[in-house]
Amino acid sequence: MKRARKALLRGLAGLLLLGAVLWLAEPARVLGQLRQAHPGWLLAGLLAAVASNLVSALRWRALARWLGADVGVRDACRWYFQAIGLNALLPGAVVGGDVYRAVVLRRAGQDARAAGWSVVLDRVSGLWMLCAIGGLGAAACAPALGAALRVPPAALAALALAGTLLWLALPWCLPWLLRRVGGGGAGPLRAVAGRPDFGAQLRWQVLASAAVQVLSAAALAAGALALGVRQPPAVWAFAIAPVFLMAALPVSVGGWGTREAAAVAALAPFGVAAPAAVGVGMIYGLYGIAQGALGALAFGLPGRAASD
């Protein structure tokens, strides 16, 4: 009962936040923006989002196999897109889908530790690259962001670049850092980082995660173009970090509400009106629902045991 109550509260919180954002942006204006959406750009954004998640599924499969779990391409794609559907419909943002992936991999006869760590490290690598690209975008957008934050643009750009470079270097320093960390909690990570092929796997994760985030930014930008919102690529490189991070918080259903609020805040310094920004966030959310539906049609629904 406590778990169900928490899920209900999260769902209500997300809906209330979405309602507040829509009210501030004026629902009639948001609806007007959505009605004029260009079908071609909407389709392009959906295709980019699907491509992003296909690469994500292959990245997760490569990581799982590296950790010792034997999973095929079809199963990885099937479970990944089923998880997207769960993320879009269940409270807890990406948490529900991540747990589902770990459970089905374990119930397919794979090692429980490999199943769990594959999902954790896959999510961490995606968030790591998301923040790195967001930092580079912030440096490129320093004039507009500096004016909005009342910070000297040069100082903001220097800070963003320095922080991003340190952030990008962190995984490469992981073996050295873990050798100096005591305690048994770091044991699994220390074993992974000490493998001879750690560098090769890390390079694959970097390339795959970069492709995922570039395609995700393209999907967000295409959804914006469908509404007539035109911004340079650097703006979308910056915007994906706050928009996607807020959508991933486990305080709403499918990121609804938090994603739209972040889109308004992230795009305001570039002159994007609130109704258009809310529309951009909602279109990206609809991409997730569409992919969950497509995944169910193409790969089947989650089994009863895994859903439980």
CB 291 within 8 A of CB 81: yes
Q: Is pLDDT at 144 greater than 90 in this prediction?
A: yes
Residue 62: band (very low, low, confident or very high) from pLDDT cuts 50, 70, 90: very high
CA distance 291 to 306: 19
Per-residue model confidence as pLDDT tens digits over 100-117: 898 888 888 888 888 888
- Threshold 0.75, pTM exceeds: yes
The type of residue at 113 is R
Residue 304: band (very low, low, confident or very high) from pLDDT cuts 50, 70, 90: very low
Q: Is pLDDT at 305 greater than 50 in this prediction?
A: no
CB 132 within 8 A of CB 168: yes
Per-residue model confidence as pLDDT tens digits over 230-286: 999 999 999 999 999 988 877 777 788 889 999 999 999 999 999 999 999 999 989
Say what the pLDDT of residue 7 is.
57
Label residue 300 left, alpha or beta by phi (over 0 means left) and psi (-120 to 50 means alpha).
left
Number of H helices, E strands in the chain: 15, 0
Domain ranges of the chain: 40-167+202-299
Burial tier of 192 (Cβ tally within 10 Å: 0-12, 13-18, 19+): middle
Say what the pLDDT of residue 39 is.
95
Residue 60: which residues within 8 A CB-CB, separation 6 or more? 76, 80, 101, 118, 119, 122
174-184 average pLDDT score? 66
Which of the pair, 305 or 144, is modelled with greater confidence? Answer: 144
Residue 91 pairs with which residues in a beta bridge?
253
